[in-house]
Structure 1
């Protein structure tokens, strides 16, 4: 694991170094709990699970961050009631904070529960509403994706670059199956029906943050999903932007912390992907 710890600094402490330390410690702890979680609760739907490991990971991360930066604000998935309305309100309550840490302690909890090795810890830091640090850590592969605003994005200490595919037809694209079965899931399924025949292939692996990291690393050319939250997207959005890609909403607007319907890509296929979703009426 390589530390890009030359990031923004306050009081002699690097934001990026703290984010990396938190993600790695949480990831190592999560690994020890694989196949050994004691509780399993359904939050918003059968697709939306939480275990004591999610809660413990968030507590660990929050405690570490607050030790270094006690005056910063914190938004973690497990501290928010289930459902899109609660998620939107939770973000609005802290959005004006000067420094806001945005954390998903396990993105891909369903995968974790089933022992499917595609989940991660996602940590972002926003300064006055703009993401300046993004870290996604995959403990099963020991892959650390790190980005700093204006300083590039890295995996295994090597600079990442988005893919060069020029068309949907030649692209490997990912999406998800949203937890909101009333609105987001039917809309996303409509998008899947429209996009699948137009791309080289489609992947649904169950972690938005890792999908975003894979776009940044050039392993995927694009990703879209309806009904996501700030903690799913914030770190991955910076990874993609700092790797030369583009992140926005399904209507073509630029990314901001409130985006819930996301389209992210290498930039080259962005408009084609947005247009295909619009044509299928699968964009809002």
Structure 2
């Protein structure tokens, strides 16, 4: 395992322990509201600090883009992109679908990725050019050849309700064609599951870099495709993401295209 990936795995496990220790005491946690339906707890802060401390001990010159601490060291060559608890609302309700997401971007390219599910103790990892793995076993995206029979993942644009009509139009377009659409509530874990072939495709509006950075590398290293709603590379900036196995990427984009509002093409 790459030494940097090994450190990321160690950091994810430390964060995971912080999260699982708190699972039985959710009703006693300090919880803040960042925005409407967007919450952060003391567990998010503690898990993020555990990640940062672990990585800084090994790589003190590296920077961070971290959801809760507000660290945004964009100018450094090596920057870690961190979501310590993707799926906070699920966690606060005892819904066991959340994950730790850690990615390394070196000179503008994603090079290492970890998504850790602490409830199932599943560790998804990837190194650029080295493939993707789940608990040390190689994973690949599904071999689905068309939308018919596909299982898709998605997320609601609850932070950007102005896009709800566009999103619902996309949902209605997919619904009669595919086998099912799932919205578990953790984009990082959805993308990891796509890399492992558990779902065939995914789309969502308005994600943040820390939601998707690790998952993007996992999918690419597992043989999948990732793009914005036009199939381009602006998803980290726009937050609008489509990902899938190769054969269903074009039909997913074609299905989405008629329902993009002008704001979703920027």
TM over 0.5, shorter chain: yes
The 5 Å alignment of 1:105-124 reads 105-124=84-103
Q: State how many pairs are aligned.
A: 261
Q: Is the 8 A contact 1:230 1:259 kept in 2?
A: no
Partner of 2:254: 275
Determine if contact 1:95/1:129 at 8 Å carries over to the other structure: no
Q: TM-score, normalised by structure 1?
A: 0.87
| Residue of structure 2 in register with 1:11 after alignment | none
Q: TM-score, normalised by structure 2?
A: 0.93
d(CA) in 2 for partners of 1:141 and 1:20? 15
Structure-2 change in CA distance of 1:256 and 1:95 (3 Å): farther
Larger deviation, residues 31-40 vs 139-148: 31-40
Distance 1:185 1:34 in 2: 32
Deviations 1:64-98 (A, max 9, x none): 11111111101111124xxxxxxxxx8xx643420
1:201 CA displacement:
0.4
- 1:255 shift after superposition: 6.0
| Among candidates 12, 19, 34, match of residue 30 of structure 1 | 19
Alpha carbons 2:11, 2:54 under 8 Å: kept: yes
Counterpart Cα distance in 2 of 1:41 and 1:262: 28
- Indicate the residue corresponding to 1:237 in structure 2: 216
Question: Is the CA contact (8 Å cut-off) linking 1:96 and 1:128 kept in structure 2?
Answer: no
Q: Which of 9, 21, 34 pairs up with 2:10?
A: 21
Task: Decide whether the 8 Å contact of 1:105 with 1:121 is kept in 2.
Answer: yes
* Partner of residue 136, structure 1: 115
How far residue 237 of structure 1 moved from its aligned partner, in angstroms, is 0.4
Q: Residue 154 and residue 103 in structure 1: after superposition, are their counterparts in 2 closer, same or farther (change >3 A)?
A: same
Aligned-pair CA distance for 1:207: 0.4
Distance 1:95 1:280 in 2: 33
2:53 alignment counterpart:
63
Q: Structure 2, unaligned stretches of length 5 or more?
A: none
Choose 188-197 or 215-224, whichever is displaced more. Answer: 188-197
Among 46, 51, 54, the alignment partner of 2:41 is 51
| Structure 1 gap ranges (5+) | 8-13, 81-89
Give the superposed CA RMSD.
1.6
Check conservation: 1:35, 1:113, Cα contact below 8 A.
no
Aligned-pair distance for 1:259? 4.5
Q: Summarize deviations over 1:84-128 as a string: whole Å, max 9, x none.
A: xxxxxx8xx643420000000000111100111110000000001
Q: Is 1:145 aligned to residue 124 of structure 2?
A: yes
CA distance 1:267–1:203, shift in 2 (3 Å) = same
